[in-house]
Amino acid sequence: MSSVANACRHVLLTADPAAKIMAARRAAREWRLGRLESRFDCSMPDAPARPDQPVLLPPGHMPKRKGAGSQRNRVNMLHALAHIEFAAIDLAFDLIGRFGEQFPCEFTDDWMRVGADEAMHFALLARRLEQLGSYYGALPAHAGLWEAAEKTKDDVLARLAIVPMVLEARGLDVTPATIDNFTKANDSRSAKILQRIYMDEIRHVSYGTKWFESACRGKDLLTHETWKSLVQSHFRGGLKGPFNDSARSRAGLTTDYYA
């Protein structure tokens, strides 16, 4: 029987988007059915494999995204979101493969579900791009998404603090307005996809908060103070509002953390 670490490594080393979706879904299904051993017997790669497209640019070199009024602008926005979800697949499986041995099996349960969700989100957005006459890879994307993983590769508390509790939580802040913009542009199909992603991301942030607090308890650390210290030392630029306090609270990320 293969190990969970090998399954995660396979996802990370799969470059082709369609194949990565299949690998992520297969890993989550095999884990759920008890066909993967809870063994962490191989290391995760320093960086995931990437397809030839999209061309990756430094974040500061990316063109500014505009509103959803025109189809071109909507395609630009959907492409950017698809790239985020594509990277999120790797972030979920790297979290399991790199740090899962430090936690009970429930940790792997939760993040396998996240990995499968991210694969589904990417598939929905990629298909929507094709319906609008484009495709994933047609536009440049920024290369900064893996930076958070690189900076926190040796510290699970930092990884949980930054990836789900900062980066994904920021999605909770901005997605409602994006959904509203697509709705106003009479693009209900895209709006429904974004609504589905938004609801799933609340759960993803809740997993981050749950396991961050669990790890803090295990180390006898104060959760809010530890989180603030980790964000200050690992997240460049600081937190910027406005914050979606309601969605964050549903995910357990109360204002005690970020106010």
Q: What are the pLDDT digits (tens) for 110-155?
A: 999 999 999 999 999 999 999 999 999 999 998 777 888 999 999 9
pLDDT tens digits, 158-174: 999 999 999 999 999 99
46-65: average pLDDT? 83
Q: What is the pLDDT of residue 144?
A: 78
Extract the tokens encoding 51.
């397809």
Residue 66 pLDDT greater than 70, yes or no: no
Count of domains in the chain? 1
Residues 5 and 94: their CA atoms lie apart, in Å, by: 9
CATH code, domain carrying 143:
1.20.1260.10
Q: How confident is the model at residue 191 (pLDDT cuts 50, 70, 90)?
A: very high
Q: How confident is the model at residue 229 (pLDDT cuts 50, 70, 90)?
A: very high
What is the DSSP secondary-structure string of 134-197? --TTSS-EES-TTHHHHHTTT-HHHHHHHIIIIIIHHHHHHHHHHHHHHHHTT-HHHHHHHHHH
Q: What is the pLDDT of residue 70?
A: 82
pTM for the full model? 0.95
Strand partners, 141: 56
Residues 183 and 105: their CA atoms lie apart, in Å, by: 40
Residue 237 pLDDT greater than 80, yes or no: no
Determine phi and psi for 224, rounding to 5 degrees.
-65, -40
Q: What is the pLDDT of residue 94?
A: 98
Domain around 116: 4-258
Residues 78 and 188: their CA atoms lie apart, in Å, by: 13
Q: How confident is the model at residue 63 (pLDDT cuts 50, 70, 90)?
A: low
